Structure 1
Amino acid sequence: MTSLRYGWTTGACATAATKAAYTALLTGEFPDPVEITLPRGRRPAFALAVEELADGAATAGIVKDAGDDPDVTHGALVRSTVRLGAPGTGVRFLAGPGVGTVTRPGLPLEVGEPAINPVPRRMMREVLGDADAIVEISVDGGAELARRTWNPRLGILGGLSILGTTGVVVPYSCSAWIDSIRRGVDVARAAGRTHVAGATGSTSERVVAELHGLPEDALLDMGDFAGAVLKYLRRHPVPRLTIAGGVGKLAKLAAGHLDLHSGRSQVDFALLAGLVGEPETAARVRASNTALEALRVCTEAGLPLGDLIAARARDVALEVLRGAPVEVDVVVIDRAGTIVGRAGGASPG
């Protein structure tokens, strides 16, 4: 099997572009390729796509290569423009076109700051040494790309975040998604939310938001990553969590799976049959092809499979939370968005 190719984060690209621009500002020549050292010691070299030197400023641009990861920013042009600052002012970061600005508390950056995360900032400071410099990072088309990320919900407006803790994009690690879940919890806590919801998809999110009257910053982009939500809430609790999803996804959670993706977990029909108990119906559930078919079989037999799945999924969630002060309820829906099962808190609000 061919191994998947690693890529580089926007933070690594911004750092390399900053090093190239600063070198050109001092020497008049752009290093191409430009090499940087990543936090864990790797030393990748980046080819420059943009070289501009004029009026006391130097700009270098690098096309992000995310390797074999389906990253929304793959192929984006990350630019750094460097100017010398006043003596003693250190390094100041600016958000250029396509880079967002923080507008809500709870993120690892102050409100009003460019959405350039702490590790990329540290990496750029390291390549600048003791320089007093103004560094403006921009991403061509970044404002449009950001609409396909969770930045707007997190209160990062106007563009993308410059991300990365290692500088390396691991294919299909979904690290950006999991990071957005964690930042979503942080933003909800900073806003004083006492009730958050994690949904497996847009339909279940709409249902649970309407059911409990939850604002946007209380909605976590859980998707398939139930484990990421639960493990982060274990360390950073919110008083109440609602988990909402389709019957198939939550049947997987009921079986103990914390990654609900179809490629990494499957519905356990023997488990569902065991929940039902009644022999004839249980046999039909065991022979079902989908969780929705099993639900239909049980509905016809007058058995509450949706409630049973919700209760079992809630038990699994509580086990992962390990006694953290988080009340949990579960809402199961069908494809039409109809609630077909609930456990742990039947009243809205």
Structure 2
Amino acid sequence: MAQQLRSGITTGACAAAAAKAAVLAWRGMFPETVEVISPQGRVITVPVAEAAAAAEGGRASVVKDAGDDPDITNGVTIWASVKIDPSLSEIVLQAGEGVGIVTKPGLAVPVGQPAINPGPRTMIIRAVRDVLPECGAVVTISVPGGEQLAARTLNPYLGVVGGLSIIGTTGIVEPMSEEAFKNSLTPQISVVKALGYDSIVFVPGKMGQEYAVKRYGLPGDAVVQTSNFIGHMLESAVSHGLKQVLLIGHLGKIVKVAAGIFHTHNRVADGRLETIAAYLAAGGAPVSVIREILACNTAEAAVTIIENGGFTSVYQVLAERASTRAQRYVFGELTVGTVILTLKGEMLGLDNNARKIGGDLGWNIK
């Protein structure tokens, strides 16, 4: 029997727990563990490493435990300093030592803000509010040594300077052993097949899953996550006897599939901007637009340039190409349709196969 891999906690959950412990220290309580709530409503118990009170607030730390995931931040200490401010009505988040600042557009956090992603922001604010309902506070998150660690991530290329990003959409780190992760993904297909579907919806992650179901009305039972293993999941769909796949994802993922990349982790393959630029050039976009695209830091940042230039027809071309490449990947044993989204879930483009498959599944797209 394969050994069960141990899950861990995200930097976002650590930051939220440290912030809560800091407020409790200010109130004279020093628990060994605190509970924080994930954006999905899951209760996560987090050990507290240190906590101390101050005249205007408190300070506490949590040591990140990534479980069996090879996480670059495993073992780092995440600090939260909380300054209670009765004149404030809100919880204000600041970046301390080792936490980056966003300097370029195209990310989920606006330029000039601490690189604390929306999920962790929600967790931190809720954790503080749980123990400080009566007024506002300034919460400063720090990761000593974070700037050095960030040099080994994509942050410098994404325009996040000065340290790490505080990330995590669920508060839990799932082990990322590649084979183990693939094996954990495949059973989703078995369930869809067992429920009587011959069409399936593939999304890279949880955000895509929420958009597919809540925004576009696709049946939740037919929507499964592929993570970066789109090729593996296409092959698994074939082996389970499914006939149609609706691929829904962010522009940055779908562009890779259009380029024939079926393991979409950025350390394996990229070429997102180059692929967008190539298809824009083929569609007649001027050199100035191509240069702008190639100068972007993210695929999301390219969306504004494409819209301003009037070249949004490229999205249908990219969707068609992604579907064609996916069908070739499984030697024509599946019909594949593709939908391209923004980070906010807005639909940029889709192909005719997607319209047919989505219609068969009862989505609310006209």
How high is the TM-score relative to the length of structure 1? 0.55
1:10-49 matches, cutoff 5 A: 10-27=11-28, 29-49=29-49
Deviations 1:5-50 (A, max 9, x none): 11111111111101100111122x3221222233344433222223
Partners of 1:202 and 1:9 in 2: how far apart? 20
Counterpart for residue 338 of structure 2: 321
Partners of 1:204 and 1:33 in 2: how far apart? 40
**Alignment partner for residue 145 of structure 1, among 140, 143, 149?**
149
Is contact 2:327-2:336 (8 Å) kept? no
What secondary structure is seen at the aligned counterpart in 1 of 2:125?
Answer: helix
Larger Rg: 1
Aligned residues: 240
Is contact 2:35-2:43 (8 Å) kept? yes
Deviations 1:199-255 (A, max 9, x none): 77789768x9699666353676xxxxxxxxxxxxxxx9757769xxxxxxxx99953
* Deviation of the 1:96 alpha carbon: 0.6
The answer to whether the aligner puts 1:3 opposite 2:4 as a matched pair is yes
Counterpart for residue 128 of structure 1: 128
Is contact 1:237-1:326 (8 Å) kept? no
Counterpart for residue 107 of structure 2: 107
* Deviation of the 1:159 alpha carbon: 1.2
Q: Which runs of no fewer than 5 residues in structure 1 stay unpaired?
A: 189-195, 221-235, 243-250, 257-270, 272-311, 328-349
**Alignment partner for residue 294 of structure 2, among 215, 227, 236?**
215
- Aligned pair in 2 of structure 1 residues 237, 101: CA closer, same or farther (>3 Å)? farther
Counterpart for residue 82 of structure 1: 82
Partners of 1:39 and 1:205 in 2: how far apart? 30
- Aligned pair in 2 of structure 1 residues 202, 106: CA closer, same or farther (>3 Å)? closer
* Deviation of the 1:175 alpha carbon: 6.7
Q: Which runs of no fewer than 5 residues in structure 2 stay unpaired?
A: 182-203, 207-225, 229-247, 279-290, 300-312, 320-324, 341-347, 352-366
The answer to whether the aligner puts 1:167 opposite 2:171 as a matched pair is yes
1:192-231 matches, cutoff 5 A: 215=294, 217=296
Is contact 1:197-1:218 (8 Å) kept? no
Counterpart for residue 255 of structure 1: 329
Is contact 2:16-2:36 (8 Å) kept? yes
| Letter of the structure 2 residue corresponding to residue 137 of structure 1 | I
**Identity of matched residues, %:** 37
How high is the TM-score relative to the length of structure 2? 0.53
What secondary structure is seen at the aligned counterpart in 1 of 2:15?
Answer: helix
- Aligned pair in 2 of structure 1 residues 76, 326: CA closer, same or farther (>3 Å)? same
Partners of 1:203 and 1:164 in 2: how far apart? 21
